[in-house]
Structure 1
C-alpha cells in the first residue's frame, strides 16, 4: 500500500505553500540568526571602559563649573517660575539647599561612573540625577545636555565596568576582555547621531548663505588682529560649508582607514576652533575626548599598553556562553526600536509648517546646533474679561534675566508664560482673563517682525504638540543684510 508523501515527511508543507515560500522563510530565519550572531559576537571591551572614564570625568568637571560660576543658584534657585517640558510639568526643584546637595550627589555619582565603583548604582544615580536637572526648566536646554542624558541612560545598561574599574577589584570574576558587539555598536551609534543630524540641519537657506556664522565671526573677532580674516566672505562661506560637510562626513571618514587620520586631524581642529571662538562649554571637549570610541579598538589597546594598564583576561564565564534565542530576540527588538526613535525623532520638525528656526516647533531634540541668532523682546497684556481693564506686564517682574533672554524667542515658552499670568490673575479673583503678547523678533540678520499674533488670546490656547496657528510665518529668504535691533533690549540678546 502506498504511503502518502505527507506522512513520510517530518516537516510537511502546509497546503498552498510553494517551494519559494519555504525558501523565503528559511532566508529570513538565516538572516535573523546571522544578525543575532553578529550582535552578540565578542568584541574588545576597551571602548566602553574608556568612555565610562571620559564621561565620568567630564561630568565631575561640569559639576565643579556649576559651583564655580554660581549656576546652581542662577538656573535652579533664583527663578520663581519654571518653563516645563510637555508631559513633565510635575517635576519641581528641591527646596532650600536641596539643589546644592543634588549637585554634590551628582558629582559623587559621576565619580563612581569614572572609577567603575559600584558602577551600576552610580550610573543609575547619574542618569536620573542629570535628567532631572535637564527636565527642570526649558530655559536651560542645550543639545549636549540632551546628549549626556542619552549617554547616561546607555551607561545604565552597558557593561562598561568590566575593565579598568574598581569593581573588578571587589569582584574579580567581573573582569573581561570582551563584551557583546551590540554594546560598543550602540555607543558608537549614539555618538554618531549628533554629527550627522547636525550636518543635515545645516542644509537650510540661512546656513548656506553664511548666516548666522557671519554675525558670530564678526562678534568673536571684533578688535582682534584676526578680524579682517574672519569677517571676509571667503572665510565665512568656507566655514559654513566646511562645518556642514564636517558634520555629515566625519564619522564615515573616521571609519574608513584611508581617510581616518585626516579625519582625526580635522575633528581635533574643528572642536578646538569652536571651543575658542564660541565658548560653547563642555561639548567640544567631550566630543573630542570621545573620538577614540569611534576608531577601531586596537588604538585604545595600544594606548592602554603604553600607559601600562592591565589587559583583562577572557572571563571563563563568558567562554562558550550561548545567549538564549528568546532573550536575544527581545534585545534585538529593543535595540532596533531605540535606534529607529533616534533616527526619526530629530526629523519631526518636517511635520510642522514654516521655518523651524523661527517657529521653534520640533526644534529641540533634533540636533539643531548653532543654527540661529535670534533677538526678541516681548510685552504681555492681561485683560479682565468683565471690566475690560488691561495691564501691561513686563516679564522682568516675573522672570530671571536668563529666562527673559530665552522666552521671547520660543513660542512654546511664550504660551507657558501667558498661562502663568492667566493663573496669577485668576488667583486674584479676576474672571475670563485674556492674555495677549506683542513679541518682536529678528532672525539671522533679518529685519525685526512679529513672532506671534498680537490679537490672539493665549489664555485660551491649549498646550499640545500640534502646530500653533497663532505663530506668524516668516519668509524663507532674508530681507535685510543686518539686524535692526534698535528696539530690542540688551537683556534679550
Structure 2
C-alpha cells in the first residue's frame, strides 16, 4: 500500500495587534531619526534671516480657525524660539533627552506653523506630523546619547508598529496627492503649463519648459508617481527601481520648484520602505568594498515572543494608533462635505495633501460704507498688510474675510461703529477668465468665521454684466 504523507499543520498566524508589537531591526528608525534631525536643523537655520519679515513686521497675522489665540512672542522672543527649535533638532539628531526634545520640537514647530496662514505649505504640515509621531517612536534605543548614558535603554530592535507608523505617515501624502490630481485641470496640463512657462528663462533647460510634451510629462509623471510609488516601494521586486524614481522625482522637484527641504525629507523617508536592517547591510557592503575588517559579530538573540494578551499600556497605544490612523485617512476627505470645487472655494483644501493643484491670480479691493451717512470709500491697504501676504490671500476666501474684520475693527476704533465692509475680488483659477470669488454685495462684518459651507463665496461662474461693471470700481 502507498504510504500517506502526514503534514504538520502550520501554526495559526498571530493576530494583527500581536504582530504590531513584534520586534524589527531598529537600524532604519535610527537613520531616519538622524536624517530628520539634521534636516530640521537646516530648516531652522534657513528661517532665521526671515523671522522678522514673517513673524515680527506684519501688523496682521492670518490665523487658522480655532487658533486665533496663537500670537508671536514679544520683543526678541521669536529669535529665542527658533534657537530652542534648533537645539531640540540637535538633540533629536544625537538622541539626547530624545522624547523631551521631540515634544519640544513638535510644539515649537507647530506654533511657528500656526502663526501665519499665509505661510501654509503642505510640507510644513507634514513636518509637524512627523515631529509628533517621533515623540512616540523609540528611535533613541541605539546610536544615541540616551542609550550611552542609560545602558538599560539599549536595544537592537523596535516594535513593528513604530516602523509601520512612519511608513503610513510618509505614504499618505503620496497617495492622497495622486488621487487629488485626478481632476480635469491637471489632466489637461494646468496649472503645470503655467508654472513651467514662468521658468522658461532658465539656462539650458529653459527652452524645454514651454514644450507641450514636457508639460504632459510633468503632469502625468507626477500623477503616476504619487499613485504608485508607495505600492512599488512595498513590493520587493520593484523597490530598487521605485527608489531610483523617487530620487529622480525629488531631485527635479527640488531644482525646479521652490519647496525648501521637502524633497530631501521625502527622499530620506522613502528609505523606510526598505527592510529595516538595510543600514547594517549597507555598512557591511561598504566595509567589503573598502576592505575594512568586519565588525565583531554579536551573538544572535532569539526572537522575542509575540504577546498573547495586551497590557493596559499596549491597549492605550493601540487605541491611539487606531484613532490617529483613522484621522489621517478621513480628515483629508472633508472637502467632499462642501459644495462646489474645492480649488475655487478653498473649503477643505488645507491639510488634505492637495499639492500644486491650483494657481490663482487676481486682486482684492475693500470698500467701506458708513450706514449713518451713506458714504462709501475704497480702503487703502498700504501699511495694513505685507505684499507677500496680499499675494497669498487673493484667492483664499477665509483670509479675505479675516482682513475685512481687521479693517472693520480699525474703522470702528476710529469712530464708525456700524461700518460695513465689502470686497471686490476678481480671481482667475488655472488660467480661466477672472470671476468674483466673494459676493460683492455681502457685508463681511456680519459674516462670522465658521466650518460650515460659506454662502458668501460665489460659485465659479462667468461674471454677469452688472458684476463686470463693478470691476471699474477697483
Aligned partners of 1:270, 1:229: CA distance in 2, in Å? 17
Is it true that 1:435 corresponds to 2:416 in the alignment?
no
What are the superposed Cα offsets for residues 280-314 of structure 1, whole Å, 9 maximum, x if unpaired? 11111111122211211232221244577989979
Is it true that 1:451 corresponds to 2:437 in the alignment?
yes
**Aligned match of 1:40:** 21
Aligned partners of 2:79, 2:327: CA distance in 1, in Å? 34
Is it true that 1:101 corresponds to 2:87 in the alignment?
no
Distance 1:303 1:456, change over 3 A: same
**Aligned match of 1:381:** 367
Is it true that 1:243 corresponds to 2:230 in the alignment?
no
**What TM-score do you get using the length of structure 1 for normalisation?**
0.86
**Aligned match of 1:57:** 38
Displacement of 1:411: 0.1
Unaligned 5+ runs, structure 1 = 1-29, 477-485
Unaligned 5+ runs, structure 2 = 1-11, 288-293, 463-470
Aligned partners of 1:188, 1:121: CA distance in 2, in Å? 23
- The 3-state SS of whatever aligns with 1:390 is strand
**Aligned match of 1:15:** none
Displacement of 1:156: 0.8
Paired residues in the alignment total: 447
What are the superposed Cα offsets for residues 250-286 of structure 1, whole Å, 9 maximum, x if unpaired? 0110111121111111111111111111121111111
Which of 56, 62, 71 matches 1:83? 62
**What TM-score do you get using the length of structure 2 for normalisation?**
0.89
What are the superposed Cα offsets for residues 163-190 of structure 1, whole Å, 9 maximum, x if unpaired? 1111111111111011111111001100
Displacement of 1:238: 2.1
What are the superposed Cα offsets for residues 306-340 of structure 1, whole Å, 9 maximum, x if unpaired? 57798997999x95695744333332222111111
Which of 462, 466, 490 matches 2:452? 466
Question: Does the aligned pair in 1 maintain the 2:59–2:384 contact within 8 Å?
Answer: yes
Is it true that 1:351 corresponds to 2:341 in the alignment?
no
**Aligned match of 1:481:** none
Question: What pairs up with 1:295-444 in 2 under 5 angstroms?
Answer: 295-305=274-284, 322=307, 324-444=310-430
Aligned partners of 1:365, 1:304: CA distance in 2, in Å? 38
Question: Does the aligned pair in 2 maintain the 1:175–1:315 contact within 8 Å?
Answer: no
- The 3-state SS of whatever aligns with 2:277 is helix
Which of 249, 255, 276 matches 2:255? 276
Displacement of 1:229: 3.0
